[in-house]
Chains A and B, each alone.
Chain A
Amino acid sequence: MSGPTQGATTEADHPLRVVPQPTPESQPFWDACARHELVIQRCRSCGRFWFPPSNHCQHCWSEDFAWEPVSGRGELYTFTVYRRAYAPELAEQLPYVVGVVELEQGPRLITNIVDREPGDVRVGMPVEVVFLDFPAGVTLHAFRPRENSRTPSTRAV
């Protein structure tokens, strides 16, 4: 295929690259992904968000935090288009886009950009979260251009 163009909640038609192995700290993030919900840790002391998950606020070191559902909207901070496969099973997915998305709440996530030809992806593009369900029973977040509304069933929370 010429690029990942999966619908938001459909079963992804490419093999999962590597199954994430959650830690006790990150388990709530992946559990939420499985519910098609994006959650980020927010400090109850200073009110700020952080990512990736850890048990201390990166800003004030408080251990008092909540997993907060977030809008899933953001901007594409930067990206790269993979043209070379780093493992044989990745070859059929080329080219695919790895991006860094800056959420409205501040934290940046490494993710995939879908529903857009790699040649048309742009830094600064408004994006929104979608969830890819893999046959292995794992769900990963990805982001697509925000003006795209071809799959209104998507739960972009």
Chain B
Amino acid sequence: MYQRSVAIVGAAHSQLGEVPGSTAIGLMADASVAAVADAGLTPASIDGVIVRGPDDEYCFQQQVGERLGLNAAFSTSLGNGGASQALAVVLASLAIEAGLATTVLCGYARNSWSRTRRSGSRKARMNQSTHNRTREWRDSFGYFGEPATHALGAQRHMAMYGTTKEQLGHVAVSVREHATRNPHAQMQSPLTMEEYLDGPLVAEPFGIYDCSLRTDGAGAVVVTETARAKDLPHPPVVVRGFGSHNNLRGWTIDDHMVQTAARASGERAYRIADVSPSDIDTAQLYDCFTYMVLAQLEDYGFCEKGEGGELVASGALGLDGAIPTNTSGGQLSEGHVEGMLQVVEAVRQLRHEYPAERQVPDARLALVSGHGGNTVCHTTLILEGG
């Protein structure tokens, strides 16, 4: 049984957005150095490395160790897509409690903006990256890109529960409002509902404002025993609980599109953390697309299944709302670093680092989610401030 003896003591991200010529490992090094400095630690104290880089880079943790001069008692690269980054914190916590490591660097880096520029057209990328099974059962029917996958879920949800395009728009507009107060965000100008509804369509019901950004960037956190944190500069953010669930049979199977893996992952996390949805002060959710925020709010029990549209339309995601969500602007407006920035933002909110205009008042418990791997893998963290 997890003893809740582990905390996040350092958190940072690299430059975000369009970083011409950047490499994933370079961004990873920037974020890692900053996170260790934020923790008030030295490289010698790091004995664990759990990271993920671009999916076509083999054993990314070796690049990190080589670049930063680290050997590690415990180390791996993860393959759960966007669920990996929160999962890194889970594995670090388990490794530390088991005595396999004492202080673990967790991180993720991508250079998707620069990479796209380098490799040329979308077609080139499409042909490079396509797996045979995907090619056979998806590409043949003109089914390309992640927007369509999540649009299939949104469309089903709309048909089952009457969810509307405008309700999806409230997610985009709310997180953009958060981003206007974040000087690191890629999108800092406000988004009106009218602009959202007029946005060019991509894969219905999604338009461009339903889709997350293309980002060069990295994030990293340092995880260690809470007992070690008393000599460190920041109050520890305790890893109070966590969960995961993986609908490995696929997105189109059963009711996975409308009741996502977040449901079972969240139930485990609430049980291990011994808290309930009403205890959560802020949610930092994996927002690859607007619909995924709405679905997760339901799956995490912030409202009943089918009521997510009404919840987001009520202003719930705002700083003074029922569940302030993605308070940095998220992947829709801050930058898409596959869930890593959600962890960083939760730490900063729980430390009460921000000026009042950006701070969730009285934030003590944060829920963080990671979702990915063809939208079937899910991880939940419940973090607790001092």
Q: Enumerate chain A interface residues (CB-CB to B < 8 A).
A: 16-23, 26, 52, 58, 77-84, 86-88, 90, 93, 96, 98, 100, 108, 110-112, 118, 122-124, 140
| Chain A: minimal CB distance from B249 (Å) | 8
CB distance from B71 to the nearest CB of A (A): 41
Interface contacts beyond A18-B140, A52-B133, A78-B257: sample of 9 additional A-B pairs, CB < 8 Å, sorted by A: A17-B140, A80-B155, A80-B203, A80-B204, A83-B204, A84-B203, A108-B253, A110-B141, A110-B143
- Given the complex of chains A and B, what is the CA–CA distance between A96 and B140 in angstroms? 13
Q: Which of A16, A20, A77, A86 contacts B156 (CB 8 A)?
A: A77
User: B200: shortest Cβ distance to chain A, in Å?
Assistant: 7
- Are B252's CB and A110's CB within 8 A? yes
Q: Smallest Cβ distance from A131 to chain B, in angstroms?
A: 13
Q: Tell me whether B123 is interfacial, beta carbon within 8 Å.
A: yes
B residues in contact with A88, CB < 8 Å: 121, 123
Q: Does B201 contact A (CB under 8 A)?
A: yes
Whole-angstrom distance between the alpha carbons of A73 and B160 in the complex?
21
A84 CA to B208 CA in the complex, in Å?
A: 10
Q: Considering residues A21, A26, A86, A108, which has the most beta carbons from chain B within 10 angstroms of its beta carbon?
A: A86
The 8 Å CB contact of A77, one of B140, B158, B252, is: B252
Please list 17 pairs of residues, one from A and one from B, whose beta carbons are closer than 8 Å in the complex, sorted by A's number: A17-B141, A18-B130, A21-B135, A58-B249, A79-B155, A80-B155, A81-B201, A81-B204, A83-B202, A83-B203, A86-B126, A87-B123, A90-B144, A110-B141, A123-B155, A124-B159, A140-B140
> Judging by beta carbons under 8 Å apart, are B139 and A18 in contact?
yes
Q: Are the C-beta atoms of A111 and B141 separated by less than 8 Å?
A: yes
Name the 4 nearest CB pairs between A and B, nearest first: A123-B159, A83-B201, A86-B144, A78-B156
Tell me which residues across on chain A come within 8 A of B205, comparing CB atoms. 80
Q: Is residue B99 within 8 Å, beta carbon to beta carbon, of the partner chain? A: no
Which B residues are in CB contact (< 8 Å) with A122? 159
A18 touches B253 (CB 8 A): no
**Inside 8 A of B137's CB, which chain A residues have their CB?**
20, 52, 110
Residues of B close to A98: CB separation below 8 A: 141-143, 148, 152
Cβ–Cβ < 8 Å partners of A16 in chain B: 140
CA distance A113 to B139 in the complex (A): 15
Q: How far is the CB of A87 from chain B (nearest CB, A)?
A: 4
Q: How many Å lie between the Cα of A83 and that of B211 in the bound state?
A: 14
Q: Which residues of A contact B132 (CB under 8 A)?
A: 21, 23
Q: Is the CB of B153 within 8 A of A78?
A: yes
**Residues of B at under 8 Å CB distance from A?**
121-123, 126, 130, 132-133, 135-145, 147-148, 151-153, 155-156, 158-159, 200-206, 249, 252-253, 257
Closest-CB distance, A126 to chain B (whole angstroms)? 14
Closest to A98 in B: B143
* Of A17, A26, A100, A111, the contact of B139 (CB 8 Å cutoff): A17
| Alpha-carbon gap, A17 to B138, bound state (A) | 10
Are B126 and A108 interface neighbours, CB within 8 A? no
Kindly state the separation between the CA atoms of A92 and B257 in the bound complex, as whole angstroms.
Answer: 30
CB pair A23 B136 closer than 8 Å: yes
Chain A neighbourhood of B153, CB < 8 A: 78
Chain B, Cβ-Cβ closest to A102: B252
Of B142, B158, B201, which contacts A96 at CB under 8 A? B142
Closest to B251 in A: A100
B352 CB to closest chain A CB (Å) equals: 42
Could you tell me the distance between the alpha carbons of A56 and B203 in the complex, rounded to whole angstroms?
34
Q: Which residues of B contact A52 (CB under 8 A)?
A: 133, 136-137
Cα-based distance from A124 to B158 in the complex (angstroms) = 12
Determine the residue in chain A with the shortest Cβ distance to B205.
Answer: A80
Cα distance A84–B137 in the bound complex, in angstroms: 20
Residues of A within 8 A of B155 (CB): 78-80, 123
- Contact between A93 and B203 (Cβ–Cβ < 8 Å)? no
CA distance A137 to B138 in the complex (A): 19
Chain A residues whose C-beta falls within 8 Å of the C-beta of B121 in the assembled complex: 88
Cross-chain contact of A86 among B145, B201, B204 (Cβ < 8 A): B145
Q: How far is the CB of A96 from chain B (nearest CB, A)?
A: 6
Give, as a whole number of angstroms, the nearest-CB distance from A83 to chain B. Answer: 4
Q: Which residues of B contact A19 (CB under 8 A)?
A: 140
Instruction: Tell me the bound Cα distance from A3 to B43 in angstroms.
Output: 59
